[in-house]
Amino acid sequence: MAARAFPAIKARRVLITFHSQGDSDAAGAAIALSRFLGAKAIIAPPDKPSSSARKLFEISGAKTTLFSEIARKKDDFIVVLDSSSPSMLTHLAGIEPDLLIDHHARAGNELPAKRRISDPSASSTCEMLFFLLKPKDKISCIALLCGIISDSADFKNASSQTFTAVSKLIPLSGLSYSQILALSHAPETLGERIESLRSCQSVFAERIGEHIVAVAIAKSHEAHFADMLLSLGADIAFVGCSCEDSHRASHDGAPLSADKEGGRISSRMRESMRGRVRLPEIMAEAARAMDGSSGGHECAAGATGAREGVKEALSVCKKLAEQQIHESEKGKIRKIEW
């Protein structure tokens, strides 16, 4: 399969890039692909990756060069990993990549590419790369494992294929699962913890049927705070950010704005709500309210756009979540008798 996915590119210089503030999934996939392709492959982030991604590059010994610092050649082969959203790939404006590999659901506003490999059923791009490359070396296996664990939210968004990949990768990595788990999680920063506590003041929670929907505004680290709201008891959480000083990294595949003045919304949902509330659809409507774009997974998605539209977009999110919950309740079987 790898031979069909990467036809005759080993002889060319390959630029491997990914979305702004790349996460563990993007980094892990880039490391494995670069090792598969060999010395002519260059990992070219658009900007500073997240702390977990930087940790992965460090332990793997992978070298990176900012995309903007590379003198591109006419015959360069450009591969994009883990995103197809133009707002997350602004460094590729005016450039049509040769190959795009992504596991996010398509929303209709994707970056054009000469060839595309997409699998929304995959937990991560690293999971896709495992089946494409079938790596055997320890570094590639460790990198892919870290990306899978991170982007599947510790297997909360996993499928049987995810576990198949992990069961084959762990023995090849030479590490135990607990060791891989320690590598895959960067510790919470002081900034994340402080901002989460401050953001608690803005939380509005409403009971809808037997479920709790929480909405909040954060100055930064909105993805981290959305995760925290679920741990506090919310079934669905929408957290917006419209502050200019809003640099942060995502660990779930939700879109990131490359523009510090952009507005963002991160959404999270408990696994028990899967199939009843459709976060990617809600984020698509939120993106329209912000004149932006969206993407993500069934239980973790996001939107970016104009910061002036964040409050309106949050209102849209809450209303749509309420509608979908009520619709699912209408057909719900409340009692099963045997």
When pLDDT is averaged across residues 272-279 and rounded to a whole number, the result is: 90
When pLDDT is averaged across residues 202-228 and rounded to a whole number, the result is: 90
Q: What is the pLDDT of residue 140?
A: 97
Q: Is 62 exposed, middle or buried (0-12, 13-18, 19+ CB in 10 A)?
A: middle
When pLDDT is averaged across residues 316-330 and rounded to a whole number, the result is: 90
Are 80 and 177 found together in one domain? Answer: yes
Full residue range of the structural domain in which residue 219 is found:
190-330
Q: Please report which helix (H) or strand (E) contains residue 18, including its range.
A: strand 14-18
Query: Has residue 219 got a pLDDT over 60?
Result: yes
Q: What is the pLDDT of residue 154?
A: 86
Residue 50 placed within a domain: yes
Query: Has residue 249 got a pLDDT over 80?
Result: no
**Geometric angle at alpha carbon 262, from 280 and 315, rounded to 5°:** 50
Residue 161 placed within a domain: yes
Query: Has residue 328 got a pLDDT over 70?
Result: yes
Distance CA(93)–CA(115), nearest Å, equals: 17
CATH number of the CATH domain containing 232: 3.10.310.40
Residue 40 placed within a domain: yes
When pLDDT is averaged across residues 223-248 and rounded to a whole number, the result is: 82
Examine the fold and report which residue of 184, 217, 237 is the final residue of a domain before the chain moves on.
184
232 three-class SS: helix
Distance CA(118)–CA(194), nearest Å, equals: 37
When pLDDT is averaged across residues 176-183 and rounded to a whole number, the result is: 90
Are 134 and 211 found together in one domain? Answer: no
88 token code pair: 């997350």
Are 173 and 269 found together in one domain? Answer: no
Are 240 and 131 found together in one domain? Answer: no
Residue 322 placed within a domain: yes
Residue 230 placed within a domain: yes
Cα distances from 126 to residues 67, 103, 286, in angstroms, run 21, 9, 28
Are 290 and 146 found together in one domain? Answer: no
Query: Has residue 253 got a pLDDT over 90?
Result: no
Are 168 and 45 found together in one domain? Answer: yes
When pLDDT is averaged across residues 169-190 and rounded to a whole number, the result is: 86
229 token code pair: 């709201």
Q: What is the pLDDT of residue 6?
A: 66
Examine the fold and report which residue of 127, 156, 184 is the final residue of a domain before the chain moves on.
184
Are 6 and 67 found together in one domain? Answer: yes
Distance CA(56)–CA(42), nearest Å, equals: 16
Are 85 and 204 found together in one domain? Answer: no
Tens digits of per-residue pLDDT, 10-68? 778 999 999 988 899 999 999 999 999 998 999 999 998 888 899 899 999 999 999 99
Q: What is the pLDDT of residue 256?
A: 46
Are 259 and 157 found together in one domain? Answer: no
φ/ψ of residue 199, rounded to 5 = -70, -15
Q: What is the pLDDT of residue 203?
A: 93
Tens digits of per-residue pLDDT, 284-322? 999 999 998 887 778 888 888 899 999 999 999 999 999
Are 172 and 217 found together in one domain? Answer: no
Are 148 and 224 found together in one domain? Answer: no
Residue 335 placed within a domain: no
DSSP string covering 145-187? HHHHHHHTTTTTT--HHHHHHHHHHHHHHTS-HHHHHHHH-PP
Tens digits of per-residue pLDDT, 182-205? 888 766 677 777 877 888 889 999
Q: What percent of the chain has pLDDT over 90?
A: 57
Q: How confident is the model at residue 247 (pLDDT cuts 50, 70, 90)?
A: very low
In the predicted model, what is the mean pLDDT of the chain?
A: 86
Residue 196 placed within a domain: yes
| Total number of domains in the chain | 2
Residue (of 34, 36, 4) closest to 17 by Cα position: 34
Are 88 and 138 found together in one domain? Answer: yes
Tens digits of per-residue pLDDT, 103-128? 987 767 789 999 999 999 999 999 99
CB 79, CB 17: distance < 8 Å: yes
Residue 266 placed within a domain: yes
Examine the fold and report which residue of 184, 213, 242 is the final residue of a domain before the chain moves on.
184
Q: What is the pLDDT of residue 187?
A: 63
Q: What is the DSSP letter of 14?
A: E
CATH number of the CATH domain containing 87: 3.90.1640.10
